Amino acid sequence: MKIPTECRVPTMLSVGILLLSISAGAVADDEQEGSSASHTVSFDYGIGYDSNPFLAPSESYYDQNAGQVVQPVSISGLFSPIRLDGLMTTRHSFVSYHLDGDIYPSTETRNAENFSLRLATGLKLDLEKGRFERSFRFGPHAVQNKEVYYDRDTGLAGQSGGVDVSDRYEYRALGGTMDLELELNRVVDFSLEGTAESRDYEQVEGLESFDHDIVKAETRIDLRLARPASLFLGYGYQIRSYEERHARDLDGDSADDNPALEYSYAAREAGIRFRSSGRWRMVIAWERIDRTDEYLGYNDYVENRYKLRQTFGGRRWTLELFGGYRERAFARAFIFDKPTSPEDGEPNPLKAYEKADGGFELEIAWNHFHLVIGGRNEEQETTDPRFGYVRSQATIGGRWVY
């Protein structure tokens, strides 16, 4: 259900105070009943090198909207990843907070900075039926997301018709989440999660707002097949309804008399986990996402994702290797959203994307402090020349766990 614009909380400070005060009351009530509260925190901070923070295209291309050849400028630089995760729990309540961001100290790369803060609180109920566990959580959450809408070709703040649109991706969100986990027997675990969220984006003069509602439900079943292996299956459905953005017709035009944009997503997931008696683990997973453009289907697509993650460990160290491949094919959408190229009049191809990525993370622990060294590389190829890129990152930092 959409939250009216005039009723939305204007700042994350007031939202955070509200959530924390609700939780503080619940914690106090539990402490009066004699139960003990717990608080776990993990904080990551480091320094790294980013070869292409703006995801600049790999090659020059003809911009069909501007009517000129573009020579992308690839800029590299240092950055500091930062992450904070915390969870406070009592017998009947919880508070969680999550901060994720990247700091780019150089003037040339500062537009790539991004931060996302999520606060959540609510009620929880943990039950045991014989030897099997049950848990239920429910409560509100708030999100503050800050990032710059920049020109991928230059890294400069985005403009439209001479107007600064760099704030276009910033938003605040309010919502609620319900989470149910059931250990049914020795073989089957079941989980169900439902979320509703309303996102309020910065209004940019002359452009349609990105404001939209998200409603989604996800369910998952884990099957312990044998001692070293388990199978998991999942299904999720999501609807995104926009306030001002107009859907596109089959020629790629988003006319003012077109209805408001609405997407639905159906996701299916399957995978298998292997775990030895030691600290060796492997996860192989596949996911398929079908997006439906509810107007005429112009932006329908099918996406397949393949993931592999392998972990080795000793008493004080853990090495994780990961890799993935993603392919996305649009059913009707043209590159530049134009059926034909204005350069030569030839038909434009449909949008299609392929992305491969891989990397590692080595973690060495000394009590509460962990040294973390990581690296990753990703490459995307597309029929739309604006979005093909290569990017590499290398980081070293610390993780404090309490």
Q: Is the pLDDT of residue 36 over 70?
A: no
pLDDT given at position 357: 98
Share of the chain above pLDDT 90, in %: 80
DSSP state of 158: P
Number of folded domains in the chain? Answer: 1
Averaged pLDDT, 206-232: 93
Q: Is the pLDDT of residue 143 over 90?
A: yes
Q: Is the pLDDT of residue 13 over 50?
A: no
Domain of 171? 5-401
Give the whole-angstrom CA distance, residue 206 versus residue 119. Answer: 32
Residue 216: name the closest of 254, 251, 175, 273 by CA. 175
Averaged pLDDT, 102-107: 96
pLDDT given at position 17: 45
Could you report the per-residue pLDDT of 232-243, keeping only the tens digit for each? 999 999 999 999
Could you report the per-residue pLDDT of 339-378, keeping only the tens digit for each? 999 999 999 999 999 999 999 999 999 999 999 999 999 9
Number of neighbours of residue 155 by Cβ within 10 angstroms: 23
pLDDT given at position 4: 44
Beta strands in 276-343 (DSSP E): 281-293, 301-313, 317-334
Q: What is the CATH number of the domain that holds 371?
A: 2.40.160.40
pLDDT given at position 51: 98
Q: Is the pLDDT of residue 14 over 60?
A: no
CB 248, CB 299: distance < 8 Å? yes
- Helix H segments across 117-255? none
Averaged pLDDT, 291-319: 96
Give the whole-angstrom CA distance, residue 353 versus residue 300. Answer: 14
pLDDT given at position 315: 87
Give the whole-angstrom CA distance, residue 295 versus residue 156. Answer: 34
The encoded tokens of residue 18 equal 């509200």
Residue 240: name the closest of 165, 179, 291, 186 by CA. 291
Could you report the per-residue pLDDT of 155-184, keeping only the tens digit for each? 999 888 788 899 999 999 999 999 999 998
Share of the chain above pLDDT 70, in %: 90
Give the DSSP letter string of 52-94.
-TT---SS-EEETTTTEEE------EEEEEEEEEEEEE-SSEE
Evaluated on CA atoms 201, 338, 344, 55, the torsion sign reads positive
Give the whole-angstrom CA distance, residue 94 versus residue 39. Answer: 10
Mean pLDDT (the chain, rounded): 91
pLDDT given at position 128: 74
Question: Would you call 256 exposed, middle or buried from its count of C-beta atoms within 10 A (0-12, 13-18, 19+)?
Answer: exposed
pLDDT given at position 15: 47
pLDDT-derived band of residue 106, with 50, 70 and 90 as boundaries?
A: very high
Q: Is the pLDDT of residue 309 over 60?
A: yes
The encoded tokens of residue 72 equal 């992308």
pLDDT given at position 3: 42
Query: What angle is formed at CA 241 by the lines to CA 180 and CA 9, rounded to 5 degrees?
Result: 75
CB 46, CB 20: distance < 8 Å? no
pTM, full prediction: 0.89
CB 374, CB 360: distance < 8 Å? yes
pLDDT given at position 65: 92
CB 394, CB 78: distance < 8 Å? no
Q: Residue 175 forms beta bridges with which residues?
A: 141, 197
